[in-house]
Amino acid sequence: MFISGEVVSRRWYLDFTDRPYRFSDSRNRFTTIGCDTLACIKGHKDGDSYRSGCVSVCDDAGSLATGSCSGIGCCQTAIPRGMSYYEVSFAGEFNNSKLSRTEGGRVPLVVDWAIGENSCEEAQRDREAYAWISKHSECANSTNGPGYLCNCSSGYQGNPYLQNGCQDIVECALKEQYPCFGVCTNKQGGYNCVCPPGTQGDPFRPGDCYPESLSLAVKLIIEDMCFSTK
């Protein structure tokens, strides 16, 4: 609402400092929308302070590009990796309208999480506190700040933070995810797929298992078609 020519500056923040969450640097963007609007963000990143801002300008509301953030009336900037706290405010001297909270307005926020402050190597030294307890699981260092995560090993699925939480995937029962056009045999951590007895070829391709006992004439035709040079 356009009124007295000043922004009623309103600050808000979200603090994950003592929690296992961090703001995802790859899936979030700091976004400012409006005509002649300066939004400021500050936060904590691995114990250091972080400050940035975003300015969106336009001649009038009619020049805004609906559905995109192309720089006219919209500004986007990345946020740093490892940030666990942020505070947002608007510059009061930059705008000509009053800022008020939009009733029911919401925007999504994606967070990453990790366990503790230690790497996998450091965490494994304290087996009692180590969260990776299931068989067929492995540890991965966090890619967004300190800490680590647990994952089920390849060929297994479930919850690696529970005893025996990672269970074998029965690939032969999931043909869309693990296609096999031959004979499928499940095994721990994987599966085997072979052409039926008496055939050969690629069992992972439909119709590619063919009889081994081809006649000499057929073999010569295939050889001529596939390997002849001009």
Q: Is 128 exposed, middle or buried (0-12, 13-18, 19+ CB in 10 A)?
A: exposed
Average the pLDDT over 6-29 and give the result: 82
Q: What is the pLDDT of residue 7?
A: 52
By the 8 A CB rule, do 65 and 16 touch? no
Tokens at 51, concatenated = 């400050």
User: How does pLDDT run across 122-161, given as a tens digit for each residue?
Assistant: 988 887 778 878 999 999 999 998 899 999 999 999 999 9
CATH architecture group of domain 171-227: Ribbon (2.10)
Q: Please report, for residues 25, 83, 130, 149, the alpha-carbon distance to residue 110 in angstroms, rounded to integers and kept in the order given.
A: 9, 12, 26, 17
By the 8 A CB rule, do 164 and 152 touch? no
Look at residues 170, 148, 146 and name the one whose alpha carbon lies nearest to residue 158. Answer: 170
Average the pLDDT over 197-214 and give the result: 87
Q: What is the pLDDT of residue 206?
A: 93
Q: Is 69 exposed, middle or buried (0-12, 13-18, 19+ CB in 10 A)?
A: middle
Q: Hey, where are the domains in the chain?
A: 12-100+107-113, 120-167, 171-227
